[in-house]
Amino acid sequence: MSNVMRPEPSAVLPRDKLDTANAEKLVALGFPAVEPVLPQLLEWMQDFNWPVAQVLQHLLASIGAPLAPYVRVVLSQEDEIWKYWVLHCIVRESKELAGMLRADLQRIALSPTASEKKEDVDLVVKEILEGIQ
């Protein structure tokens, strides 16, 4: 057994959108070690063009059902681009997570807000729902 100290997840949160070194440390810690910082990790998915988002995407998508309450918080916001990226890059990649969010996804698919339609949030939701039928 190794005596190497693993960093606390909060100590290696990315400092900016280019801090892929810290993002990779978080990926190496994996789930459930990163659970205390999941809200902060989802904040990095506000723009998938950020290098940090691209590093964290697979880790977040691999978490599945335990991520559902945190994604619900994102879906309750009025940041449609953030919703789009979380849905497109994380929820779409996890049938388990999509299943946990089915009611939330159906609301968006059946009665999207004008801003959700403008940013194609409803379209990515319909694609996700088709994938879990």
pLDDT tens string, the chain, 133 residues long: the values are: 445 678 899 999 999 999 999 999 999 999 999 999 999 999 999 999 999 999 999 999 999 999 999 999 999 999 999 999 999 999 999 999 999 999 999 999 999 999 999 999 999 999 999 999 7
CATH of 15-131, one of 2.102.10.10, 1.25.40.750, 3.40.980.10, 1.10.1030.10: 1.25.40.750
Q: Domain limits of the chain? A: 15-131
Q: What is the 3-state secondary structure (H, E, C) of the chain?
A: CCCCCCCCHHHHCCCCCCCHHHHHHHHHHCCCCCHHHHHHHHHHHHCCCCHHHHHHHHHHHHHCHHHHHHHHHHHCCCCHHHHHHHHHHCHHHCHHHHHHCHHHHHHHHHCCCHHHHHCCHHHHHHHHHHHCC
- pTM confidence score: 0.94
